[in-house]
């Protein structure tokens, strides 16, 4: 539903090809929205025929040519309209929680490895976000913006979204520790795994 709008935002931040958008959705935008290249190409085509984006063929050397998309006036208007409409606060959809409650009817100890694996992934994501924060939101640029007294809205807003990702990963890690402690309590024989 909001994939179109996520694409508009990304293209406003920087025009690019479908492939580049797919990469961004794996990285920064993927912090809060995911999409595969198939989806992106399909939606881009519809957006193009609706006049929301403009296309420009860019010939390249040593690489296949690409189509660079940028936001057209109609797209900007569509985004603006969406921004002014209220959206439903969304609920989480967490497979792992289903598994945890399901473990009551199976072997809770069998879940330990799985939860540890998830914990590992979230540790890596947190490190990745924090590295991005240091790279993009600390140092001279941040200082000069503050010193000038007029903060850069785009940067500030990107930063607060990133802080949301950091908070989410930290919360998740703490919760997964809670889950692991609970699972250990239910299966006192299991060792706390390898170091």
Partner DNA sequence: AGGGCCATGTAATAGGTTACATGATTGC
Partner DNA sequence: GCAATCATGTAACCTATTACATGGCCCT
Please report, as ranges, the residues that interact with a second copy according to CB under 8 A. 1-2, 5-6, 8-9, 12-13, 30-34, 76, 79-80, 82-84, 86-87, 89-106, 108, 110-111, 114, 117-118, 121-122, 151, 153-154, 156-161, 163-165, 167-168, 170-171, 174-175, 178-179, 182, 185-186
- At residue 157's C-alpha, the angle toward residues 153 and 160, to 5°, is 140
d(C-alpha 186, C-alpha 180), whole Å: 10
**Cβ-contact 145, 70 below 8 angstroms:** no
Least distance in Å: CB of 169 to DNA?
Answer: 20
d(C-alpha 133, C-alpha 143), whole Å: 14
Interface with DNA in residues 20-49 (CB under 7 A): 20, 22-23, 34-39, 41-42, 44-45
Among 64, 86, 140, 194, interactor with DNA by CB under 7 A: 64
Q: Which structure tokens are listed for 178?
A: 């809670």
Residue 137 interacts with which of DNA, a second copy, none, CB < 5 to 8 Å by class: none
Least distance in Å: CB of 57 to a second copy?
Answer: 25
Size of the site for DNA (CB under 7 A): 25
Among 49, 59, 63, 84, interactor with DNA by CB under 7 A: 63
Does the footprint of DNA cover residue 141 (CB under 7 A)? Answer: no
The region of 64-72, 116-124, 159-167, 180-188 touching DNA under the rule CB under 7 A is: 64-72
């Amino acid at each position: 539903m909001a994939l179109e709008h996520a694409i508009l935002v990304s293209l406003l931040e920087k025009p690019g090809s479908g492939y580049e958008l797919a990469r961004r959705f794996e990285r920064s935008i993927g912090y809060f929205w995911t999409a595969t290249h198939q989806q992106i190409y399909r939606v881009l085509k519809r957006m193009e025929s609706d006049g929301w984006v403009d296309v420009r063929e860019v010939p390249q050397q040593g690489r296949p040519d690409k189509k660079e998309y940028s936001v057209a006036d109609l797209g900007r208007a569509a985004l603006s309209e969406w921004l002014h409409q209220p959206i439903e606060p969304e609920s989480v959809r967490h497979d792992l929680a289903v598994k945890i409650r399901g473990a009551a009817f199976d072997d809770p100890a069998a879940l330990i490895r799985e939860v540890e694996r998830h914990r590992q992934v979230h540790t890596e994501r947190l490190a990745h976000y924090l590295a991005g924060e240091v790279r993009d939101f600390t140092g001279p640029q941040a200082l000069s913006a503050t010193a000038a007294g007029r903060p850069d809205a785009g940067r500030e807003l990107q930063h607060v979204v990133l802080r949301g990702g950091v908070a989410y990963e930290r919360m998740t890690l703490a919760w997964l520790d809670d889950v692991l402690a609970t699972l250990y309590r239910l299966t006192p024989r299991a060792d706390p795994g390898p170091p």
